[in-house]
Structure 1
Amino acid sequence: MPSWLIPYALLAPGLLVIAALLLYPLYQMVDMSFHDVRLKNLRAINPVPPEFVGLENYTKIFESDLFWPSLRNTLLFAAAAVALTIVLGTLVGLLLHRLGSKMSMFVIVGVMAAWATPPPAQAIIWKWLFDSDAGIANWALNLLPDWLSNLVFGRADWSGQPWLNEPFTIYLVLTVSVVWASFPFIAVSILAGLKSIPHELYEAAEMDGSGPITTFAKITLPMLKPVYAVLIVLSIIWDFKVFTQLYLLAGGTANREAFNLSLWSYAEAFGGSPKMGLGAAVAVVLTIILLIITFVYVRQIVKTEDVR
């Protein structure tokens, strides 16, 4: 075998696996989005070929009253969740870096338990915590002094507060749930990045009289930029595709005002009158938006590195 073919031969098995597990299903989804696919087209016995409808599914999406609210919910939730996850993960990562080895390992094991919790279990835990009748959230808020609760929230009595009825409070609980489950991965990744920064840089900064904030801004943050680039991209991808937690917290697809693009896609594809072609079209739109945002972010990172 020629030497120039060896790298391609080594990459071929991985590329074949990616093609089988990712590219082919992606192709099927795109193809389905151009057809009117119903249950009769998918039955095992005597299936009816789906009707080709061209861009009709996409036209229905952009004309639907659900498109802009679902897109707004998706973008605002992802922006808040990514920002909070990165900030909290960074703070915990800095804390772990300052702890001793035994205590650091103890905290890592504790927080990684949250990251390892399956999404359905996460949603059930937080749905119980914010239950209107027996939830700990309402109980804890009722413990606040009335003057403080009125000053901060404008109310003192939280008994029976229905957190999971309105879209805003549903997304508030969803954000807490997702950040709680996501920040441990960020924290451990930041800790790994901090371990790779030469200690001599901090010693030199200390000798120059640099404070903690200045040291973080001038040394830690620039050295962790490659780590942040990867973590932010991963967080964007994960938070744009959140489905399980929202589905369980919102109680299914009844509350259409709480839809994000993922839940809307599911509702169209597997609702009372399944329209899988339309659901696939919503998923394609979500994928394109996600690719555009990721591409713009990565391109900006690359341009910044080129300038430097």
Structure 2
Amino acid sequence: MTTLTEAPEASAARETPARRRRPVDRLPYLLLLPCLVIIAVLLLWPLGQVVTMSFFKLDNVRQLRGDREWPWVGLANYTEILGDPFFHTVLRNTVLFALANVLLTMVLGTLVGLLLNRLSARMATFVGTCVMLAWATPALTGAIVWKWIFDDTSGLVTWLFNALPDGLSTALFGRADWTGYGWFNSPLLFFAILTLVVVWHSFPFIAVSVLAGLKSVPSELHEAARVDGAGPWKVFWKVTFPLLRPVFGILIVLSTIWDFKVFTQQFALAGGTQDRTTYMLSIYSYASAFSPPPKYGLGAAIAVILTLILLVVTGFYVRMVLRQEES
């Protein structure tokens, strides 16, 4: 009696997709686990604490140490903040400052990146190293240097204005002696100087990132565009920019987040939290939480609002990127 054996091909064809499915490789998840734990401990847990504090009335250090109870107030801190006209002024200052800094940082960083791409290798290395020194300088150190530059007695800017002819200085600015002039006393001048400091510290990262993106663009595309009669601006706008749009998108989001959170430079230039006319959200949160009388819950609510604004900006960019990939 003969027994019919099933061909291997037929047996494999009748295998269900579930049987042919490859086993899940858990090794990548295990390798990511230590990083996820560190992020949870250093980021998510403090963020959760801030969110929790925003729903309580905390005005004493003993409450933070756990020696006293935390009175629950619900959304009262948020209601107080959103109903305060001063908060709307601070929010306006923050938005306008961030928009101006993002625009200036992106424009200057892109121009420097294009310049580095056109220079020879040796010169590009030299210029790039000099540019990166500004980004490598700690924010506090850079702010202290710029504060000395605008010092009202021995600062470089004061010396330069005093070096102008008296007649010219008077005709242009209405004064001849600049010794003792408070560069940081006017809100408009303060924000102008703060913008100068932040852009000086931020544009090198943009320049190097744009340079890295330019190195990935095939030179044949630029040469073909020039052969067709396109000028430098048209080459950039029609060839370079579309190819580097994802890079520019990431840089804009990062710059927006950084400029919304500016604190160190403002605190150093203003000498503390005394000048409320120059407040932005980050320093407003700090001043509300730690200036006497302390209101830790109120400061935490402002910090949560700032975080939500940044999450909206980031979510908008992620949605835009996903739409571009789908199309």
**1:98-147 C-alpha deviation (Å, 9 max, x unpaired):** 11111111111111111011111111111111122222223334455678
Of 181, 185, 188, the residue aligned with 1:161 is 181
Which residue does the alignment assign to 2:24?
A: 3
Matched, 1:289 2:289: no
Question: 1:2: how far off?
Answer: 4.4
Gaps of 5+ in 1: none
Q: Give the distance between the partners of 1:245 and 1:251, measured in 2 at CA.
A: 10
Q: Secondary structure at the match of 1:34?
A: coil
Question: 1:40: how far off?
Answer: 2.0
Question: 1:248: how far off?
Answer: 1.2
Which residue does the alignment assign to 2:64?
A: 42
Of 208, 226, 233, the residue aligned with 2:253 is 233
**1:153-193 C-alpha deviation (Å, 9 max, x unpaired):** 65453613311112221111110000001111111111111
**1:195-252 C-alpha deviation (Å, 9 max, x unpaired):** 1110111111121111111111111111111111111111111110000110111111
The residue type paired with residue 159 of structure 2 is W
Which residue does the alignment assign to 1:80?
A: 100
Q: Give the distance between the partners of 1:189 and 1:252, measured in 2 at CA.
A: 34
The residue type paired with residue 296 of structure 2 is M
Matched, 1:183 2:203: yes
Q: CA 1:190–1:69 in structure 2 vs 1: closer, same or farther (change >3 Å)?
A: same
Which residue does the alignment assign to 2:191?
A: 171
Equivalences for 1:222-301 in 2 at 5 Å?
A: 222-301=242-321
Q: Give the distance between the partners of 1:21 and 1:154, measured in 2 at CA.
A: 51
Q: What is the aligned-residue identity percentage?
A: 54
The residue type paired with residue 258 of structure 2 is W
Q: Give the distance between the partners of 1:18 and 1:26, measured in 2 at CA.
A: 11
Q: CA 1:146–1:218 in structure 2 vs 1: closer, same or farther (change >3 Å)?
A: farther
Q: Residue 253 of structure 2 contacts residue 313 of structure 2 at CA under 8 Å; is this kept in 1? A: no
Question: 1:287: how far off?
Answer: 0.7
Q: Residue 241 of structure 1 contacts residue 262 of structure 1 at CA under 8 Å; is this kept in 2? A: yes
Question: What's the RMSD between the two structures over aligned residues?
Answer: 2.1
Question: 1:85: how far off?
Answer: 0.5
Return the index of the structure with the highest Cα Rg. Answer: 2
Of 220, 226, 245, the residue aligned with 1:200 is 220
Gaps of 5+ in 2: 1-21
Equivalences for 1:212-231 in 2 at 5 Å?
A: 212-231=232-251
Q: Give the distance between the partners of 1:60 and 1:54, measured in 2 at CA.
A: 11
TM-score by length of 2: 0.87
Q: Give the distance between the partners of 1:216 and 1:150, measured in 2 at CA.
A: 43
Matched, 1:26 2:42: no
Q: Secondary structure at the match of 1:74?
A: helix
Q: Give the distance between the partners of 2:241 and 2:170, measured in 1 at CA.
A: 39
Q: Give the distance between the partners of 2:167 and 2:39, measured in 1 at CA.
A: 58
The residue type paired with residue 98 of structure 1 is R
Which residue does the alignment assign to 2:4?
A: none
Equivalences for 1:59-98 in 2 at 5 Å?
A: 59-98=79-118
Higher alpha-carbon deviation: 11-20 or 181-190: 11-20
Q: Residue 170 of structure 2 contacts residue 176 of structure 2 at CA under 8 Å; is this kept in 1? A: no
